[in-house]
Amino acid sequence: DYPSVVVVGLGKKNAGVNDQENWDEGKENIRAAVAAGCRQIQDLEIPCVEVDPCGDAQAAAEGAVLGLHEYNELKQKKKPVVTPQLHGSAGSEAWQKGVTYAEGQNLARYLMEAPANYITPIKFAEYIEQKLGNFSSNVKVHVRPESWIATQQMGAFLSVAKGSAEPPIFLEVHYLGGANTSDSPLVFVGKGVTFDSGGISLKPSLGMDAMRADMGGAATVCSAIVTAAALNLPLNIIGLAPLCENMPSGKANKPGDVVRAKNGKTIQVDNTDAEGRLLLADALCYAHSFNARAIVNAATLTGAMDVALGSAATGVFTNSSWLWNHLYEASVVTGDRVWRMPLFEHYTKQVTDCPLADLSNVGKYSRAGGACTAAAFLKEFVTAPHWAHLDIAGVMANKDEVPYLRKGMAGRPTRTLVELAARLSRDSHNPK
């Protein structure tokens, strides 16, 4: 029946959750195997591939759709497009769910990989607005201009944006899938620096091109909401993305400048390359106006996070064990892991001991515990009892660590955010 057949091995039979690895090994094996098989078909330039469900149609679909994705929009010579579909009819619903999850992650990968002159703050907002256009009945998108940001007194965010010729945008997305539009929403906040030069504290030129993906937080949370809408999840979600560039012009923040955040706290900007936390400070303050069930922010925040965990897992700093448990359980299923990091008072003291202002945007012991002091800084703008900060700097890009992703921007942990939302939509118990 078929001109070519690819046979893949799925590892041990009945491989399930591996407690040492913190993931479902069976699902990971299927994703990796199916991705490898689909790429073989692509190399043969066959336009369609039928995929055996391998005992878990959702994982098989994720492997196929994630494994075939590649950003080649701007190349004249493109790889042949291969369309994966389910072989047989068993598990078609699970297959479709897997396709939707994977397409969500691929949307984040697309946004992160695209050059910064193609994805500017306004173009990012317009792209998400267009993606959500299909679900217009229960989705509202507000593309807030600089004048609105100023009326909200988001001085920390504006201080980063002023160094660039590109005007800042505050993107606000409402997905109302809950039984009542008044039900407390899950609020996602994403760092949206569409290019990060470091500002006056200029980054080294080697590798600076990758900073087109410094809006990975905004890309993953917005893609998660697009996916939640596609899945028609029964809960309300609000997405907030402060979008701007961090550039070194004559108008840029200078080291030692003091800026004022939305909640009135003053911040000494000791390093202009620690800019993500300035955007998030104002966005987190604003997130508190929605009576959130939980607030989850994602950001490519610190190189220190990459040093700590590499690309194995997203670092999670949270004040809520309830929220942590949901995130952790979601990540075991998706294979896109999370790892809990400390939010000790020990780190708070290092950002509040500041000569000129209430807070410094870097810890006083320089690089020591950099991911932890960044999280401690954000905590100063949070009063909600259920908040989690996801530092995704380490999982921003893939070399070859995740076998079912090609080299390039990873779009992680979009599927874990979607799975979290799906679990919260089923968990009617509000946390204590």
Q: What is the DSSP string of 386-429?
A: SEEEEE-STTSEESSSSTTS-SEE--TTHHHHHHHHHHHHH--P
Q: How far apart are CA 312 and CA 22, in angstroms?
A: 11
- Helical ranges in 257-398 per DSSP H: 276-287, 303-309, 321-334, 345-352, 370-379
According to the model, what pLDDT value does residue 429 have? 67
Task: Report the run of H or E that residue 189 belongs to, with start and end.
Answer: strand 186-190
pLDDT tens digit string along 379-403? 999 999 999 999 999 999 999 999 9
212 is catalytic: no
Q: Any idea where the domains of the chain sit in the sequence?
A: 17-90, 115-427
Q: Are strands 139-144 and 83-86 parallel, antiparallel or unpaired?
A: unpaired
pTM for the whole thing? 0.98
At residue 432, does pLDDT exceed 60? no
CATH, domain 17-90, list 3.40.50.150, 2.40.50.140, 3.40.220.10, 3.20.20.70: 3.40.220.10
Question: 111, 146, 387, 161: which is closest to 278 by C-alpha?
Answer: 161
According to the model, what pLDDT value does residue 427 have? 85
Give the active site residue among 162, 203, 340, 364: 203
Architecture of domain 115-427: 3-Layer(aba) Sandwich (3.40)
SS3 355: coil
pLDDT tens digit string along 59-112? 999 999 999 999 999 999 998 899 999 999 999 999 999 999 999 999 999 999
Give the active site residue among 131, 260, 262, 277: 277
Q: How far apart are CA 331 and CA 333, in angstroms?
A: 5
203 is catalytic: yes
pLDDT tens digit string along 201-249? 999 999 999 999 999 999 999 999 999 999 999 999 999 999 999 999 9
Give the other-Cβ count within 10 Å of 90's Cβ: 10
CA dihedral 129, 132, 133, 137 (to 10 degrees): -130
